[in-house]
């Protein structure tokens, strides 16, 4: 119910901004719709935008259930995308594909490790550490891809392109339809996560830590370990998202690989609340907005508008749900 209210608020805010900018809302709505859902190509494009948001959203969601804000999903995503590109280029074929995914997952987890450890064992707020590490991730990958990892025959800052044999196959590839199996992976992961949260003892403990760390301690739960593991898994999922982005869509890693999926995925996770399955529709919503937003550029509507609306939605969503979280145990 609350989600509906939020979506309405979102739409109202959007319209408001358009009017302020002197754009006809009706025209904008039409363009938005046709741009994102009006044709097989548009829908494919929306789904393509949705996939990284789905995965990053799942990563943030996981940490959020444990009471942690993994803003660092952006950096984990980048490192996952980069590592998987390197491995896929080094090891050709399906074997390389598999290894590349593993590399992406590992890279993401590794990048989440410092923040996770600092929060679990030093009680340093993970928000700050992950924001810092995001910047380092951007700097690191930018440097590597402009120099040592740069493709030999390219002038731009990018790796070589991975041949199709080493990439994630399409799920549906009859033009104009083009849906990647990466999306399917994301949907499966979502289902697994929902099941894990409800049916596994570890999921029970994770959510207990997020809901009431004191009670969790009295229940014999090792709060520190749970927090560290939550960050690691969250980072791993972020890394997987980056790997899928490389292996399914981009085929390479380059400067500017991620247009800031990080913040949007925070919105996705917050809107999903306590239900993992809701991450799918929420990421779809953001994906549609993003794809539609691109077409709105033609109308003169700046890209920043979706950012703005996302921010408003999150702020309003937080009023309803996320009351002050004091740092405990």
Partner 1 sequence: MSQAVEMRGISKQFGRVQALDNVGLTVESGSIHGVVGENGAGKSTLMKVLYGAYQADSGEVRVNGKAVNIRSSKEAIALGIGMVSQHYGIVPELTLLDNLILGAEPSVVLDKGKIRERASKIAASIGLDYGPEIWDRDASAMSASEAQRLEILKLLWREAKIMILDEPTAMLSPKDGEALFGSLRALTKEGATVLLVTHRLPEIMEYCDRVTVLRGGKWIADVPVSEANPEMLSELIVGRTLTASERPKPIAPTPPVLEVKSLSAARDRGTDAVQKASFELSPGELVGIAGVDGSGQAELFRALLGVTPIREGEMLWHGKAISNEPTEKRIELGWRILPEDRLQEAIISDWSLIENSTLGLHRLPEFSDGGKVRVPERAAFAHKAAEKFGTKHGGLETSIGGLSGGNQQRFVAARMTESGPKLFLAFQPSRGLDIAATEDLYAAMQERCREGAAGLVVSFDLDELMAHCHRVLVMFSGRVVVPPADANRDTLGRLMVGGEA
Partner 2 sequence: MLNTVLLTLSMATPLVLAAMAGYCSERSGVINIGLEGKMLMAACVSALVSISHGPVLGVLAAILAAIIMSLVHWLATQRFGIDHVISGMSLNAISAGATNFMFTRFSDPDRSGRIGTLPPLFYQVCAIAAPLALLVYVAKTRGGLWLVAAGSDPEKARLAGLQPDRIRLFALIATGLFSGLAGAYLVADTGVFTDNMTAGRGYIALAALILGGWRVGQTALACLAFGFLSSLNLLFQGTDLVGVALPSEFWTSLPYLATVIALAGFLGKQRTPAGLGKT
205 belongs to the binding site for partner 1 (CB under 8 A): yes
Q: Select from 62-70, 71-79, 208-216, 275-283 the region that touches partner 1 (CB under 8 A).
A: 208-216
Q: Which does 188 bind (CB under 5 to 8 A by kind): partner 2, partner 1, none?
A: none
Q: Which is nearer to partner 2, 102 or 113 (CB)?
A: 113
Burial class (CB in 10 A: 0-12, 13-18, 19+), 15: middle
- φ/ψ (deg, to 5) at 125: -55, 125
C-alpha 294/C-alpha 261 separation (Å) is 15
192 belongs to the binding site for partner 1 (CB under 8 A): no
- C-alpha distances in Å from residue 246, one per residue of 112, 159, 170, 253, 277: 20, 11, 13, 6, 25
C-alpha 194/C-alpha 323 separation (Å) is 24
Q: Tell me the number of residues near partner 2 by CB under 8 A.
A: 50
Q: Which is nearer to partner 2, 156 or 176 (CB)?
A: 156
Give least dist CB 18 to partner 2, A: 10
310 belongs to the binding site for partner 2 (CB under 8 A): yes
**Which among 170, 189, 188 has a CA at the least distance from the CA of 249?**
170
Could you say which DSSP state residue 322 is in?
A: -
215 belongs to the binding site for partner 1 (CB under 8 A): yes
315 belongs to the binding site for partner 2 (CB under 8 A): yes
Query: Would you give the distance in Å from CA 161 to the centre of its chain?
Result: 23
Q: Select from 81-89, 92-100, 111-119, 207-215 the region that touches partner 1 (CB under 8 A).
A: 207-215
In sequence order, what are the beta bridge partners of 158?
254
219 belongs to the binding site for partner 1 (CB under 8 A): yes
Residues that bind partner 1 (CB under 8 A): 198-202, 204-205, 208, 211-212, 214-215, 217-222
């Amino acid at each position: 119910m609350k989600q509906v209210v939020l979506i309405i608020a979102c739409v109202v805010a959007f319209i408001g901004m358009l009017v302020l900018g002197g754009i006809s809302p009706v025209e904008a709505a039409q363009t938005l719709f046709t741009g994102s859902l009006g044709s097989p190509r548009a829908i494919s494009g929306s789904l393509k935008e949705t996939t990284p948001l789905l995965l990053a959203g799942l990563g943030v969601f996981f940490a959020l259930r444990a009471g942690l804000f993994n803003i660092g999903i952006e950096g984990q995503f980048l490192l996952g995308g980069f590592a998987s590109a390197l491995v896929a280029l080094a090891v050709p074929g399906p074997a390389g594909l598999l290894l590349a995914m593993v590399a992406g997952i590992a890279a993401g987890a590794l990048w989440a490790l410092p923040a996770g450890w600092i929060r679990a064992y030093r009680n340093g707020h993970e928000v700050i550490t992950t924001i810092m590490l995001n910047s380092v991730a951007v700097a690191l990958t930018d440097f590597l891809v402009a120099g040592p990892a740069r493709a030999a025959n390219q002038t731009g800052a990018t790796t070589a392109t991975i041949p199709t044999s080493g990439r994630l196959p399409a799920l549906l590839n009859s033009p104009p339809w083009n849906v990647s199996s990466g999306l399917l992976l994301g949907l499966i992961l979502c289902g697994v996560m929902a099941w894990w949260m409800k049916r596994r003892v570890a999921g029970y403990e994770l959510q207990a830590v997020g809901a009431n760390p004191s009670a969790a301690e009295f229940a014999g739960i090792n709060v520190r370990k749970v927090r560290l593991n939550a960050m690691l898994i969250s980072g791993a999922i972020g890394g997987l998202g980056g790997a899928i982005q490389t292996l399914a869509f981009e085929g390479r890693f380059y400067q500017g690989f991620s247009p800031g999926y990080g913040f949007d995925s925070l919105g996705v996770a917050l809107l999903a609340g306590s239900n993992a399955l809701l991450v799918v529709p929420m990421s779809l919503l953001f994906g549609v907005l993003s794809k539609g937003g691109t077409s709105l550029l033609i109308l003169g509507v700046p890209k920043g508008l979706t950012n703005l609306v996302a921010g408003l939605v999150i702020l309003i969503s937080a009023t309803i749900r996320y009351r002050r979280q004091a740092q405990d145990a």
